[in-house]
Structure formats: C-alpha cells, structure tokens
Homo-oligomer: A and B are copies of this chain.
C-alpha cells in the first residue's frame, strides 16, 4: 500500500481525465492512493459508474474517491495534482489547478512537447513540479471509458532536474501498480529525445493535410526534409543542454520507415478541425532556437504555416 510519510495513502487529484489521466489515475488508485478526478463534461457518467479501463495491465473499473466539477471543489489540497491536458493554445493551465493547490501540493505534469513546465513553474514557484513523459497509446472509447492500446512506460523527474523524494514516492506507486516507470535526474534530456520524433512528424503530417508516416518518408524530398528538421531540433536540444547523439536521427527515421503507416495525433486533430499542440511541439522549440541563436529555417517554415492554420481556425471559430 502507498503510504505518505504520515502513514495515510497519497491523495491525488487528476485534472484532465482524458485517456492518459484516467488510465494513470486509475493505476495509482490500484496502488492504494486516494485518487479523485475533476470532470466537467463527463461528471455524471463517471460519478455514477467510474471509468471502464481496458488495459494490458488487467481491465478494471476506476472509481475515483471524489468526482469533482472543478478544482475548487476539493475538500483539502491533495499531495499530488496530476495534470494531463492537451497542450493547446487558449487553455489557462495554471487556472485549471490553482484552487486545489496547497503549500505542499506537488504538481505532476504529463504531456507532450518541449518547455511545457515553465508556465506552471512560473505560476506556482513554491510548489514542487514533476515532469512526466508517457510512452503510451491510449484512447477514450466513451464518456467514461478508456482503452490502453500499447506501450505504457512513464519517465519522470523533478523540474528542472533531480529526483526528489516526491518523485521517488510517485514512481514507486506506479511501480507497485505494475506500470513501468523510470525516475531520471535529467528529465529534460528524455523530453528532447522523446519529442525529436514529434517535432518532425507531427507538424509535417498536419501541414501535409493529414499525411501518414509513409507518405512523409516515401518521396526522397520528404525523408530529406524530416532529416533536416530533426537535425535542427537536435541542434536546439544541444544548445539547451540536452545533446542528442547523431545516430539517433537516422535510427528514428529507419524505425519509422519500418513501422506500419501511422497518423500522428496532430494530423488527427488537423483532420478533425480540433486545436493542435503547436506551441509545445513546435513553437517552444523555435523560441528556444531564437534564444540560443540556432538557425532552424525548416522548423521556422513549419511554425509559420502552423500559425497561419491556427489563425484561420481561430478566426473561423469566432465567426461561427
């Protein structure tokens, strides 16, 4: 059983109970944590019967300790807030959790992209912040149903670096539940490494109008462009203190070429007309490049196109 230093179970509040939040929140509950969730649109379904979680770790129903409509409804501040929301523009992530945070609450951020921790570190400078990478394929299959399709490993560390006791405690909870979990002192390195693929394939797949990995790599021009963009990203990573070995790029291209054609999350969002994770995956990288004086003309081109698409979609949305 997971016990805090005080002997009581860890109290966890999940904010953003989509596929990732519900799956990992549910796994923490299985490890004995007291896990509540903030659910707006699905509140009644989840309150009535919990989440139906289908996972290779064993199917189960995750019944949260409390199902809240907003973070402000917590009875007392949790030990951990697990924030697992899409990193799109126009969402005030600090506001989503501010009213649930106490002086000792640890913020656990699960999400794609580079530099996504900073806005939370700025908003809550006195709270500990844990950065988490989820190597997982999971989707919502209904209002309170999640299917975990493949993989599942977590990598986590203190932001900006280190492995605090709070990280160790969280990692051991996941490990108890059977989730492969690595605590790493340099989580930023892992974040750059994981996002090298995302930085190239996500924007290209979306701006090509929803291309899969095969259509991206099949033309010689496509492979060469992916290579160029990954090299630019690796140069920014190196300038940011997280060097990436040269062979990683070629290995990433080769392994992507070997896998079945795959459509990225950004391509799927693009095709569905939903907001895309442009800033964490692309904008933050371009800004880091500018800060460090690293030329990234390929990434700049992708970012400019993505900004235009976002502008069009936001103007279009306002016009409705």
Interface residues of A, Cβ cutoff 8 Å to B: 204, 207-209, 211, 215-216, 218-219, 221-222, 224-225, 228, 270, 297-298, 300-305, 307-312, 315
Q: Which residue of B lies closest to A309 (CB)?
A: B208
Q: Are B298 and A204 in contact (CB under 8 A)?
A: no
Q: How far does the alpha carbon of A311 sit from the alpha carbon of B218 in the complex, in Å?
A: 8
Give the distance in Å from the alpha carbon of A225 to the alpha carbon of B207 in the complex.
15
Cα–Cα distance between A224 and B301 once the two chains are bound (Å): 10
**Other than the known A209-B309, A221-B303, what 6 A-B pairs have Cβ atoms closer than 8 Å?**
A208-B309, A209-B270, A219-B310, A219-B311, A221-B307, A221-B308
A208 to chain B, nearest CB (A): 5
Instruction: Return A300 CB to nearest CB of chain B, in Å.
Output: 7
Q: How far is the CA of A307 from the CA of B208 in the complex (A)?
A: 9
In angstroms, Cα B204 to Cα A308, docked, is: 9
Q: List 16 A-B contacts (CB under 8 A).
A: A204-B308, A207-B207, A207-B208, A207-B305, A208-B305, A211-B309, A215-B308, A215-B315, A219-B310, A219-B311, A221-B304, A222-B308, A225-B304, A228-B297, A297-B297, A298-B300
Contact of A298 among B207, B211, B297 (CB under 8 A): B297
Verify B204–A305 contact, CB threshold 8 A: yes
Contacts of A305 in B (CB 8 A): 204, 207-208, 225, 305
A5 to chain B, nearest CB (A): 48
Q: How far is the CB of A204 from chain B (nearest CB, A)?
A: 7
Q: How far is A297 from B207 in the complex, measured between Cα atoms in Å? A: 17
A260 to nearest B CB, angstroms? 15
Residues of B within 8 A of A315 (CB): 215, 218
A221-B307, A307-B219 as given contacts; A208 in contact with B312, CB under 8 Å: yes
| B contact residues around A309 at 8 Å (CB) | 208-209, 211
Lowest 3 A-B CB distances belong to which pairs? A297-B297, A225-B304, A301-B301
Give the shortest distance, in Å, between A55 (CB) and chain B (any CB).
34
Residues from chain B with Cβ under 8 Å of A308 in the complex? 204, 208, 211, 215-216, 218-219, 221-222
CA distance A211 to B297 in the complex (A): 21
Q: In the complex, what residues of B have CB within 8 A of residue A207's CB?
A: 207-209, 305
- Complex CA gap A309/B206 in Å reads 11
Collect the chain B residues with CB atoms within 8 Å of residue A311's CB. 215, 218-219, 222
Q: Which of B211, B301, B302 contacts A312 (CB 8 A)?
A: B211
